[in-house]
Structure 1
Amino acid sequence: MKKRLVSIDISIKPYQEFIEDLIRYAINKKSTYTCVANVHMLVEAYDDKDFAAVVNNADMVTPDGMPLAKGLKYLYGIDQDRVAGMDLLPNLLKEAEDKKVKVVFYGGTKLTLDKTKEFCDVNYPNLDIVGLISPPFRALSEEEEEGYAQLINESEAGFVFVSLGCPKQEKWMANMKRKINACMIGIGGALPVMVGLQNRAPVWMQKTSTEWLYRLFQEPNRLFKRYAYTNTLFIYLMLKEKLKR
């Protein structure tokens, strides 16, 4: 079941069911993609109908940001678990290790992927990583895209963790649906946090919907303009939806 939150359809289920469904997709090598949604993604979808279609055609859309989980409560009275990429990623890696599911990491810099290999070797020593792919930052040709899809399929990966940033990673996964026989998940900024290149906000900030503020302190030049726009617009859109109801 999904519920529309302004511009995107959020999957409604307990946290553990997301884990169970994703591992099942991976074991069966079902060509699927999952969007891990936050306020930024919702506003991108609001501003761009084509991108909204990309998100809403996903097999699952998790409420990554606490504001989205609270938004579901505000509009529908639904007590939805937050399903943050920073929690989902390590949980799925543990499941993949236990169930012998092969994984590929696609996206990110070479430094990030090197750190990912080091981190997984220590924390998930039996995890079968069959690909660490850092594609060029530029737009890829059709031949290059097909080459990466073939490489991933030949690796027999069950999970493809995609770290290209929003909205690029969501568009890439939508384009690769039915081309890559694996469970694709857009993990965005969760990867550098997991491997220690960035810090995560304290738990009290995670629970009070102020994790964005912690990230702003870490990267003010990159995030100030984005947050000033997206957070303000999100609050306006939520109030507008509530008044309509």
Structure 2
Amino acid sequence: MMKSTAGHRVLGAFINTLTWDDAIAGIHKWASVRESRYVCICNVHSVVTARFNRHFSRVIENADMATPDGAPVAWMLRRLGVPKQERINGPDLMLRYCRFAAEAGESIFLYGGRSETLQLLEQRLKRDFPSLKIAGMVSPPFRTLSVEEDQEIVDKINASGASTVWVSLGCPKQEQWMAEHRDRILAVMIGVGAAFDFHAGTLARAPGWMQRNGFEWLHRLCNDPARLWKRYLVTNTLFIGLAAVQLLRGIVSRHS
């Protein structure tokens, strides 16, 4: 496993403890020599899924970096001994790194989303970061790719010269895709969930105060209740219960 040893387990999933500067510097270190790595942005859904899905647990465990997305995950790390741990989320990491890449002369690749979303996203990124090099974009079909189709995409990404690939397929699909393509795609892959839609303007992001106070999930639930109500009802409830058990065990072990 290539992941840094700086971190804690949250419900069993190893999450790195790091700052924004640490995350960007780590990605850049790998990207500058086009190492095949992948970064998981871990929210409540990710760590709960990893708790009950052995295959997905291995995907997170083998990630080169796993950042604490979601206020509850960052909160758990603060309770576990990292008092200043911030939430390192996908949409903001993508914009921060695009700004860095534009200044450093690095090129990026966009994988995921609909074609219309990618076009709008490209316009937004070029407007905000005029010198950013977008080496290519692919909107994959919503089905399993054939071996030939998959290889064609791998070849296109590698031939583009991009040093980072921003992947927007949703959890857990994007994490599984990145894990399957490590050592095949010569770039750092970062799974950013709904970031493409947020930045393209096709999906409204929660106001800043909701993001800062851990209520971004509520905003998303209100905007898409039919699809998300079960996920949030189940995963949030499980997270609260399992987090309480983990913290209680920690208190007991310290006093035993």
Which band: TM-score by shorter chain?
over 0.9
Per-residue CA deviations over 1:162-211 (Å, capped at 9, x if unaligned) read: 00110000000001101011010001111211121122222221121111
Is residue 88 of structure 1 aligned with residue 93 of structure 2? yes
Q: Work out the percentage of aligned pairs sharing the same amino acid.
A: 41
Matched ranges for 1:59-208 at <5 A: 59-76=64-81, 78-208=83-213
Give the CA deviation at 1:31.
Answer: 0.6
Task: Provide the rounded CA distance (Å) in 1 between the counterparts of 2:129 and 2:148.
Answer: 34
Task: Provide the rounded CA distance (Å) in 1 between the counterparts of 2:121 and 2:207.
Answer: 22
Kept after mapping to 2: 8 A contact 1:66/1:209: yes
Aligned length: 245
Task: Provide the rounded CA distance (Å) in 2 between the counterparts of 1:19 and 1:140.
Answer: 31
Per-residue CA deviations over 1:103-145 (Å, capped at 9, x if unaligned) read: 1100111111111111122112221111110111101122222
Kept after mapping to 2: 8 A contact 1:85/1:187: yes
Is residue 26 of structure 1 aligned with residue 59 of structure 2? no
Task: Provide the rounded CA distance (Å) in 1 between the counterparts of 2:241 and 2:231.
Answer: 15
User: Which amino acid is the alignment partner of residue 167 of structure 1?
Assistant: P
Kept after mapping to 2: 8 A contact 1:69/1:79: no
User: Which amino acid is the alignment partner of residue 50 of structure 2?
Assistant: A
Task: Find 1:47's aligned residue among 35, 52, 77.
Answer: 52
Kept after mapping to 1: 8 A contact 2:17/2:82: no
In structure 2, the CA distance between the partners of 1:119 and 1:77, relative to structure 1 (3 Å rule), is: closer
Task: Provide the rounded CA distance (Å) in 2 between the counterparts of 1:166 and 1:106.
Answer: 14
SS at match of 1:237: helix
Moved over 4 A (4+): none
**Could you say which residue in structure 1 is the equivalent of 2:254?**
none
**Could you say which residue in structure 2 is the equivalent of 1:211?**
216
With normalisation by structure 2, the TM-score equals 0.92
Give the CA deviation at 1:77.
Answer: 5.0
Kept after mapping to 1: 8 A contact 2:8/2:80: no
Give the CA deviation at 1:97.
Answer: 0.9
Is residue 233 of structure 1 aligned with residue 238 of structure 2? yes
SS at match of 2:239: helix
Task: Provide the rounded CA distance (Å) in 2 between the counterparts of 1:3 and 1:138.
Answer: 36
Kept after mapping to 1: 8 A contact 2:17/2:77: no
Task: Provide the rounded CA distance (Å) in 1 between the counterparts of 2:211 and 2:101.
Answer: 26
Give the CA deviation at 1:75.
Answer: 3.4
- After alignment, is 182-191 or 7-16 more displaced? 7-16
User: Which amino acid is the alignment partner of residue 229 of structure 1?
Assistant: V
SS at match of 1:184: strand
Task: Provide the rounded CA distance (Å) in 2 between the counterparts of 1:17 and 1:44.
Answer: 26
**Could you say which residue in structure 2 is the equivalent of 1:242?**
247
